[in-house]
Amino acid sequence: MTLRLYDTATRTVSDFVPRTPGQVGIYVCGATVQAAPHVGHLRPSVAFDVLRRYLERTGHRVTLIRNVTDIDDKILAKAAAAGVPWWAHAARFEREFTAAYDALGVLPPTYEPRATGHVTDMVALIQALLERGHAYVSGPGNVWFDVHSWPAYGELTRQRLEDLATEPSTTEPGTTGTGDDDGGDTGPGKRNPHDFALWKAAKPGEPATASWPTPWGRGRPGWHLECSAMAQRYLGDEFDIHGGGLDLRFPHHENEQAQSRAAGSGFARRWMHAAWITQSGVKMSKSLGNGLLASELFATAHPAVIRYAIAAVQYRSMLEWGPDTLAEAATTWERLSSFVARATERVGAVDAAEVRSAPLPPRFAEALDDDLNVPAALAVVHEHLRAGNTALAATSPEADTTARAALVSLRAMLDVLGLDPADPHWAGAAASSSAHDALDVLVRRELAARAAARAAKDWAASDAIRDKLTAAGIDVQDGPDGARWTLTN
């Protein structure tokens, strides 16, 4: 069976045929590093990691680019409020995102470009749009994309420009826009409400380091421009798949496609979007105040359990996160890891090379070929788990052969999902989790003593405790619900 994937642009599932046989280029919108990652950020990273692993397992060479947006209004505002340089603020949270991806076993991207490192590429793209009559300058530092100049605007999300609200919205049915340059930019000389910023003039009071000189004036890039320039830089004028979270369809991805194609690029041949994680039917996000921080998850559950909970639901389906989500995933993970441990003890260790070269059970492959239907694939995993447990309960030589075959097949399938319990990554994660738990006990004692000192208005003692924790590489942040801590490196 041929791999078939959903295309957001056509709203159909179709055969996936790479531009170059055996090679796949994927661009995934990564983090805007303005704050700590929450569980909603983790879903797209896991979804596209499963896609990448399956493509590689089926013989493809994958080039995956995942960008970092390290400059935008929110980064500047939050850095100013914290009294730190904007680039230091961005670097701190970039590290937190990377740590979260790594903890979940997400394979590193082929390259992870930062927006600030590609200003020259963005300037070149703006120049091409100006020359083609799809952009205009409205005063020093402000350059806009003229949506009325591009008749195909709206084709990704199947919206007609004349049907859009007079005042631009960050939403379409079923989506929520994010980022600061989301179509609602305002500025002197903007011709139409839905025109969006390609280049934004530096604002009074912003750090000089947050702007760059261009032929049109000093400023910084618009959010949409960044991804178009970086995708073209590393994947060329046309590439196979552009991915991201569902909330990015409009306006971000719509604008990316419009400006790239208006500049003469074919851009993405297929668009894929991972659905939201919801709580009581409402999308999790920082703006709504219901985002569950990744650090909170890792403090309470093994990273493999979190990955299983996220991966087990088909990527285009909403994932409802409730009180039992991690408990159910933990129970399943225990069954899988327990079988692998007992079978390995019974029949001996299986080399990773054998696991990764073993044929995948046909029904497992058929499930993933069906638009990455992970729930159906997991049903096959559990069939092999039951067969393996039955074999372990027997004592005949034939049972040992059956148990070993089940072990190899089970691990091969789980490896594609990034969930092989025998992978050294998960053994390391368990040790890391235990160390974090032990450290948490010690740090909380210090925080309790600090809270008591603050209650007694013994500010010297309170400051001394905080200074001691800071010297140990522990950052303490006070909030309305008390103090929380993170490692600074």
315, 48, 14, 1: CA torsion to nearest 10: -100
User: pLDDT tens across 192-228, in order?
Assistant: 999 999 999 998 899 999 999 999 999 999 999 999 9
CATH number of 12-283: 3.40.50.620
Confidence of residue 168 (pLDDT cuts 50, 70, 90): very low
CATH code of 323-422, in short, is 1.20.120
Q: What digits encode the pLDDT tens for the residues 84-130?
A: 999 999 999 999 999 999 999 999 999 999 999 999 999 999 999 99
pLDDT per residue as tens digits for the range 293-347: 999 999 999 999 999 999 999 999 999 999 899 999 999 999 999 999 999 999 9
Q: Which one is predicted more confidently, 485 or 205?
A: 205
Per-domain residue ranges of the chain: 12-283, 323-422, 426-487
CA 194 to CA 164: how far, in whole Å? 9
348-352 LR contacts (CB < 8 Å, sep 24+): 348/404, 349/422, 350/404, 350/407, 350/408, 350/411, 350/422, 352/422, 352/423
User: Looking at 186-200, 274-288, 377-391, which range is the least confident one?
Assistant: 274-288
Report pTM: 0.85
| Length of the chain as a residue count | 489
Tell me: the pLDDT tens digits for 123-140? 999 999 999 999 999 989
* Helix (H) or strand (E) segment spanning residue 393: helix 374-393
Is pLDDT of 356 > 90? Answer: yes
Give φ, ψ of 27 to 5 degrees. -115, 125
- Whether the Cβ atoms of residue 286 and residue 38 lie closer than 8 Å to each other: yes
End-to-end alpha carbon distance in the chain: 46
13-25: per-residue pLDDT in tens? 999 999 999 999 9
State the pLDDT confidence band at 484, using cuts at 50, 70 and 90.
low
Residue type, 297: L
Q: CB of 157 within 8 A of CB of 250?
A: yes
Q: What is the CA radius of gyration of the chain?
A: 25
> Would you say residue 248 has pLDDT above 50?
yes
pLDDT in the model for residue 211 = 96
Both structure tokens of 141: 């530092």
